[in-house]
């Protein structure tokens, strides 16, 4: 039976849709997989305190060396799944902008930088767990560098949010990707990160401030009702936002 041009076009459309679906669902898979490897296996939640001594941090890595290595290697592979999803976001932004798009390449460049920062973070923590005979001061330096990189990626993904918000505001198609209140929320999320960044810089200048805040939080958590002891609301909110965005992209597939 001869294959017609329409059959080839249909098969191409099916494969294209499958590729887009795989890239879209890479986001929730990345969030879940990274969380399991980083928080559960490596044990970096809660993170080492910024006021810990060099000996305390070296002991943390020595007691969990195998789990930290396995968890960080898995987290590095999981963070690579950010690229397929943001490639879909960039492609959708190109549809909004039309020819000679500028926001889409800026957004995807920031996504590449964000992924590389995750890779660098995990790499330095792997270095901290690589040689047990090195001095505790070097281990603490590797550990501190990883957490410093963790704080400086805020400008990178803030740039992504700005580009995505602008693209959403100029999306005048019959079926836009996002609603107007979600566009304002995306811009508001960028503005909310400014005090967080300043707070983290204050913690770097005053390491004991974080310890005092943690002790106050522990005393509050011990006396609070169970409904108020959930300290992962921000992570759950971002994860749910990713699921909603994924469903929206799936519905908008050709």
More confident: 176 or 21: 21
Give the residue from 209, 182, 186 showing the smallest Cα distance to 198.
Answer: 209
Asked whether residue 2 is assigned to any structural domain, the reply reads no
Task: Enumerate long-range contacts of 100-109, CB under 8 Å, 24 or more apart.
Answer: 103/163, 103/166, 103/167, 104/163, 104/167, 106/159, 106/163, 107/159, 107/160, 107/163, 107/164, 107/167
pLDDT over 80 (residue 225): no
**What element of type H or E holds 147?**
helix 136-152
Asked whether residue 71 is assigned to any structural domain, the reply reads yes
Question: Mean pLDDT highest for which of 123-137, 177-191, 204-218, 235-249?
Answer: 123-137
Asked whether residue 1 is assigned to any structural domain, the reply reads no
pLDDT at residue 217, rounded to an integer: 40
Asked whether residue 6 is assigned to any structural domain, the reply reads no
Domains in the chain, number: 1
Model confidence pLDDT, tens digit, residues 128-182: 998 888 899 999 999 998 888 877 778 887 888 899 889 888 887 776 765 554 5
Residue 63: which domain range? 17-246
**pTM score, two decimals?**
0.68
* Distance, CA of 229 to CA of 248 (rounded, Å): 32
pLDDT at residue 199, rounded to an integer: 46
pLDDT at residue 223, rounded to an integer: 43
């Amino acid at each position: 039976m001869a294959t017609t041009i329409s059959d080839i076009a249909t098969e191409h459309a099916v494969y294209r849709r499958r590729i887009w679906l795989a890239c879209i669902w890479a986001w929730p898979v990345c969030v879940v997989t990274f969380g399991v490897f980083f928080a559960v296996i490596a044990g970096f939640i809660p993170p080492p305190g910024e006021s810990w001594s060099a000996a305390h941090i070296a002991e943390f890595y020595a007691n969990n060396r195998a789990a930290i290595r396995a968890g960080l290697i898995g987290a590095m592979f999981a963070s690579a799944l950010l690229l397929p999803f943001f490639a879909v976001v960039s492609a959708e932004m190109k549809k909004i902008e039309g020819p000679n798009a500028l926001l889409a390449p800026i957004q995807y460049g920031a996504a590449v930088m964000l992924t590389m920062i995750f890779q660098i973070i995990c790499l330095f923590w792997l270095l901290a767990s690589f040689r047990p005979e090195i001095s505790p001061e070097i281990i603490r330096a590797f550990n501190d560098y990883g957490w410093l990189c963790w704080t400086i990626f805020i400008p990178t993904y803030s740039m992504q949010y700005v580009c995505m918000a602008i693209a959403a505001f100029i999306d005048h198609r019959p079926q836009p990707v996002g609603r107007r209140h979600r566009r304002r929320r995306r811009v508001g999320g960028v503005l909310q990160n400014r005090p967080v960044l300043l707070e983290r810089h204050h913690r770097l200048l005053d390491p004991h401030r974080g310890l005092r805040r943690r002790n106050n939080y522990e005393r509050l958590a011990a006396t609070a009702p169970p409904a108020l002891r959930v300290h992962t609301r921000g992570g759950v909110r971002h994860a749910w936002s990713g699921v909603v965005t994924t469903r929206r992209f799936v519905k908008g597939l050709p």
